[in-house]
Structures are given as structure tokens and as C-alpha cells.
Structure 1
Amino acid sequence: MPYARLSSYYFFHFGALGALVPYWGPYLLERGFEPTAIGALMAILMGTKILAPNVWGWLADRAGARMPSVRLGALLAVLGLLPVFWAGGFWAMAAVMAVFSFFWNAPLPLMEAVTFNHLGTRASRYASVRVWGSIGFIVTVLLLGWWQERAGSGVVPLAVLALFIGVWASCLVIPDRGQAQAEQAHLSLRTLLARPEILAFLAACLLMQASHGAYYAFYSIHLQAHGYSDTAVGALWALGVAIEVLVFINMHRLLVRFGARRLLLASLALAVLRWLLIGAFVELVAVQLIAQSLHAATFGAFHASAIHLAHHYFPGPTQGRGQALYNSVGFGVGGAAGSLIAGSLWDSAGAMATFAVASLLAGAGFLAGLRVDRQARY
């Protein structure tokens, strides 16, 4: 298995996420955009996940191979980002973000399918590859926080561009890998989507990612408004992902012991608590440390469990489309809706109310997750 080459893709892809999620909102704020506009622009980053993975999955199916589509998407993301340095008003920035995020988001589900196919019977070891994405995120948030504090927010798009180039370079050396011949039996995606436990799983994913909307769009702004420095903001983001690394390293053991369903439900319950802590106790550093530690559950354990459930629910020929559907519904529809909700509430209702709504969304996700197949232990 090409472990190092697969890991490098995740390192750069999620390193780019580490530049975009904590620092793109403050970058837009410094460029003069209002909170409502920032919420809408950040929704674009998530919203392109609704369409992009499905389009790219269709192209890969037609081509009969996944990695050529991954490489094309990575290259177009680099080219699509370049106009950001000249984009002025809202619509120009929206167009640039729509283009580069479309091509950045498009290949990831294909890479997830390629990774699982390389792993084969060792699918529970997925987290040992994915953990390098978390490491890339940590390295980026720490270095970029330090750099931005000294050079200003103009360095943020430069960092994103460098990381996009890294994504493109890494996928040039990853070999393609299709599903095993034993999995080639015809399966209808429509039939699978009629199953209530799969619909419940997708609803839980949508609501969990919607609950993250306020966090992704406004957490850095929230901290800065209460006196946290750029370095402190970066350190808090890094803390959450550092603890997430420990979860990924031990995820194969956790899956065997508890099963994906229980981990999914525990993550949703902890998300309810996390958003309340962030909204109500932002001035207490100790509480923020606890809240950021919960990122290990609300993203790390949740995503690893969800990706295994998607692999379990959508086998064989539906594998790539199933992973794309998980990304589209959860990170796409859920992430975009969450960002729009947060953007509309931030000025009118305030930070505490915005994060309280995020907590309610996570609670609704927990209720949906109760319908997930009780036998789903993968």
C-alpha cells in the first residue's frame, strides 16, 4: 500500500482547510466584508460540496478511473484560486471562492474510495492514513497564525495557494485502485437510499455539519472580539486537532470496541455541549480548552465513524457515489446551511444565541442518529 503517498494528499488537503477555516473569515473581515456577507461566502466553501463530488464521481465513472479526475480537480483548484488576489466586491469574491472550492472539494470522496480500496481488508486502519490530514491542519494553523500576526491577513491566500499546489503534487504520485472483483455485483443506489437507517445516517451527518457552521465561520472572529491574539486563536484550533490525532491513531480500537453507531451518537451528544461552552464561556480560557478538546469527538470520531458507515452502506459500484453523497449531504448541504444560519444570526441575535442554535442542530442530529442500524459496527 502506498501509505506515504496517500498520507501526503490528506496532509495538504486538510492543511488547506487549516488555512481556510480559522483564517479566511478574519481575512474577509479585514477586507471590509460584513458578517452576513462572510457567512454567505463561507457557505460557498461548504455549498460547493453539494454538487462537486457528484459531478467528479460521474466523470470518474465515465473515465473508468478515479485518479485522473482527482489530479484534474487539484490542478483546476490551483488555477481557480489565483484571481482572489484581484477580487474586489462581494460578487467577485463569491465567484472566485465558488470556482476554487468546487475543484478543491470535488476529488476528496474519490480519494476516500481509492484509500479504502488500497487498504482492502485493513479498512479499520483508514484513520492511520487520515491522521496526516489532522497533522497538516495543526502545522498550518500554528504557522499561519504566527505568520499572519507578523505580516497581516494578506498572507492567508498565499498560504492556501501553496497548500493547493501541494495537493496537486501529491496526487500525481498516487496510483489508482478500483474496488475488488468480489464487490462488483450490481447494487442500486436508489434501493439503498430507500432504507430508513441510511436516510437517518445522512440526516445525522447533515445536522452535525450544520451545527459546525457557526464554529467554522465565526469562532476565530468570536475569539478575537474577546481579546484573543492571532497566535492564541491558532493555538486553540491546533489543540482541537491535536487531540483529534489521538482519536484517529486509536480509531481502529474504538471501532472494534464500541462500534460506529455508538461513536456517532456520543459525538453528537458532545457537540451539544461543545457549542454551549463556546457560546456562553468564551472569556474563560480553561473552558475554551475543554471545548476545543471536544473537537476530537465532534469531528474526529464522528467523521471516522461516518466514513466507515458510508463504506459499509455503499459497497461495490456504489462506493464512490456513496462517499460523494456523504460529503454532499453532510459537508455540503449541512455545512452551507449552518454557515448561512450563523451569518444571519450573528449580528441580530449575538454569539451566544448563534451557538445555542448550533447546539439545537446537534441535538436534532442525535435524534436522527438513533435510527442508524444498531448492527453497524464498521
Structure 2
Amino acid sequence: MSPADFRRYALFYLGYYGALGAYTPYIGRWVVANGHGGYAVGAMLALWYGGRIVAPPTWARFSARSVRPGHWLVAGCSLAMLGFVAFAGFDTGVMLFVTMAWFGVFFNAVMPQFEAMTLSALGPRNHYYGRIRMWGSVGFLVVAGSYGWLLDRLGNDVFVWLTLPWLLLTVVAAWLHRGDRPTALPTAGTPREVLWRRPGARRLLLVALLVQLGFGPFYVFFTLHLQAQGHDGFAVGVLWAIGVLCEIVMFWQAPRLVQRFGAQRLMSACIVATVLRWTLVALLGGSFAWMALAQTGHALSFAAFHAGCMRRMAELFPQRRDMAAAQGLLYGFSGGIGGVAGAGLAAVAWQYGGGRLAFLCGAVVGLVALTAHLLPVRVLRPQPAA
């Protein structure tokens, strides 16, 4: 990959995750500021993650058949931006959730396609994926670390307008890929049911789903949990920034770790760190120092785990023709089913026991994920009929 191509791919991650850096930490704050409760926040995030169930595999199918897949990327980013603009007019009532569904479908549709494009462009040098993906973390860091302070001073009403420039950058970055050619013949892809049966695929999808489910309280209520514990907007932003800064460092080091330890052992360590992290957040949320320590765990629980998943995807699906469909499966299971279930679990736990119960539930789910990851393969493999 040439330096110019590296910049093209890095720019898309920068814009996409910059927008996500506004959305993920602060959408709950914006919804609550408009008079809604915990269930509404959970429903909003469930719709967001629900888009990951339907959109990625459908989008991957259409884009894989196109001779100009870059045009699909531009279209998806443009439609996502238009959907987000609608939040400026629909901040209450049914249309709030309709707008959320629109935005969630198109914004979530494009990333699996782009991940497949990135891995295909890297080819056998896929262990360098983390150094491109790191620029997404830079965008997330800049936004998540500053928007809490900005919203404290400018008011929650500016949330939509502060997010739109990052969505526009995503459209511009997608435009740079408009002429990208397909990585394989459109008719040469392997059916998804065949990919599903590939040895090791079901385990990876299950573990990714459970880890994402355990992240539900973090993505839905972390900001609100910190505010309930007495932290102001500046402190919340700093804590988000600590997590993402550690994530950036880890993405830069991930190629060495994956090469040295292998994806399986690295993912085991990441899940253990995740369980410890949610336990700290649940029990010591009022302490800035302990929360800062917990946020350093983002390096393992998110960045290294994600890099490990990408390596396992490259190992399980080495054919470029399979990568887009396989990425769609991963996003559908982890970010889709796991995200919806995680948002629902978090909303119910929040209503009954606040952040303490929600994050303890996340820790328990992490233990289940670790068990699934460490089970012998034969336990997870369907047994032949007698």
C-alpha cells in the first residue's frame, strides 16, 4: 500500500470514528436532556445496533455485485449524514426513533464494506491493519475528549451541529474511494451459510457477540453513570480521552502483539481485562483515579480485541472474495445482535439498579465470553446425528 493509499484509508477512519466519538458518548446525554428516560436511551441505542443486523450483510451483497463498489460507499455515507441532519428537527416523539433507525442503518452499513476494502488492500500485510485503524481512534479521541466540555458551555442543543462536520468528512473521504475497483469477481463469493460452517467461525462470532453484549452498559450509560457519580463534563471528556488514547497506542502496537502471541491468546487476555474493567466501573465509579485506571483497559478490551478479531477473520477467510460477506456476518452478530441485546440489558439494569448493576451485569457477560472462548472446539461443534 502506497503512502497516498494509506492516507486515503486513514482519512475515512478519521471521519467515521470522529462522528462516532460524538455519537457514542453523548447521544444518551442529548436524549435525556430532551426529557427522555433510561428506557428511551436504551431503545435509541438498540435501534442503532439493530441497523448492524440488517444493513451490513445486505449492503455487502449489493456492493460486492457492483463494478463500482466505491459508489455504494459514497451513497451510504451521504444517506447517513442526511439522516443525522433530521435529528435537528425530530428530537421527541416517534420521529426521533424513525430518524435513529434511518441513521443507524446507513451509518452501520458502510463500515463492514470499508473494513473489507482495507483488508483486501493490505493483502498479506494485514497485521498492519491497526496502524490504519488507529486514525479512527484519533478522531474519536479529539471529539470524545472535547465535546463534554463544549456541551457544558454551549448547551446540549448544539450536539447535532457539532457532529455534522465529521459526517461530512466521512462523505468526502468516501468520495476519494469512488473509483475503487472490486477486489474479486462479484459472482465468485462463497454463500454465507458456507462461511458460517467454516471451523472456528461460530466460536469467533459467539465470543464477539458476548463481548459486545458486555459493552452495552459502557456505550449506553457510561457518560450518564459518571455524571450520576458527580463528574462534570470536562472530567467525563478526559476519561473518554484516556480510553481512546490508550486505544491509539495499542492499535500501533497491535501488529507486534498479534505476531508474537497469536490472536487466540491475545483475545483471552483482552476478555479478562474487560471483566476487571467493568467491575471497577461498577464499584468505584465515584473515583476519578480509579475510573482513569479502568479506562486504560480500553487498550485491551477494545483495541487489542478488535485487532485480534481482524486477524482471526483474515485467518478464517483468506480468500478476498469471502471477506465482505464474512465482515457482514461479524458485524451482524457482534455489533448487531450483541449490541441490541447489550443495550436492552443495560436499560433494564439501569432502571432497576443504576450504573452499579448495569456494569456488574457487563462483567458477568464477560465471564461467559471467556468461558466460550476457552471451551474445547469439540464442545461448540455440532455433533453428527446418530
TM above 0.5, yes or no, is yes
Q: Secondary structure at the match of 2:171?
A: helix
CA drift of 1:329 comes to 0.6
Q: Secondary structure at the match of 2:156?
A: coil
Identity of aligned residues (%): 33
Partner of 1:338: 342
Amino acid at match of 1:364: V
Matches within 5 A, 1:66-145: 66-145=69-148
Higher alpha-carbon deviation: 201-210 or 141-150: 141-150
Higher alpha-carbon deviation: 233-242 or 263-272: 263-272
For normalisation by structure 1, the TM-score amounts to 0.94
Cα deviation, 1:127-163, whole Å, max 9, x if unaligned, reads 1100000000001112322221210111211122211
Cα deviation, 1:76-117, whole Å, max 9, x if unaligned, reads 011111221111434211110110121111010111111112
Aligned-CA RMSD value? 1.9
For structure 2, the residue ranges without an aligned partner over 5 or more in a row are: 378-386
Partner of 1:214: 217
Whether contact under 8 Å (2:184, 2:321) holds in the other structure is: no
CA drift of 1:270 comes to 1.0
2:17 corresponds to 1:47? no
Judging changes above 3 Å, is the alpha-carbon distance between structure 1 residues 344 and 61 closer, same or farther for their aligned structure 2 residues? same
Q: Secondary structure at the match of 1:176?
A: coil
Whether contact under 8 Å (1:109, 1:320) holds in the other structure is: yes
Q: Secondary structure at the match of 2:200?
A: helix
Equivalent-residue separation in structure 1 for 2:131 and 2:65 (angstroms): 31
Judging changes above 3 Å, is the alpha-carbon distance between structure 1 residues 338 and 51 closer, same or farther for their aligned structure 2 residues? same
2:320 corresponds to 1:326? no
Equivalent-residue separation in structure 2 for 1:141 and 1:52 (angstroms): 26
Judging changes above 3 Å, is the alpha-carbon distance between structure 1 residues 45 and 188 closer, same or farther for their aligned structure 2 residues? closer
CA drift of 1:265 comes to 1.2
CA drift of 1:188 comes to 4.5
Matches within 5 A, 1:161-176: 161-174=164-177, 175-176=179-180
CA drift of 1:282 comes to 0.5
Equivalent-residue separation in structure 1 for 2:252 and 2:14 (angstroms): 15
Partner of 2:267: 264
Higher alpha-carbon deviation: 347-356 or 75-84: 347-356
Equivalent-residue separation in structure 2 for 1:240 and 1:203 (angstroms): 25
Q: Of 203, 207, 210, which aligns to 2:206?
A: 203
CA drift of 1:236 comes to 0.3
Q: Of 369, 372, 376, which aligns to 1:365?
A: 369
Partner of 1:32: 35
Amino acid at match of 2:340: A
Aligned pair count?
A: 373
Whether contact under 8 Å (1:197, 1:372) holds in the other structure is: no
Whether contact under 8 Å (1:201, 1:371) holds in the other structure is: no
2:67 corresponds to 1:64? yes
Q: Of 275, 283, 287, which aligns to 1:284?
A: 287
CA drift of 1:46 comes to 1.4
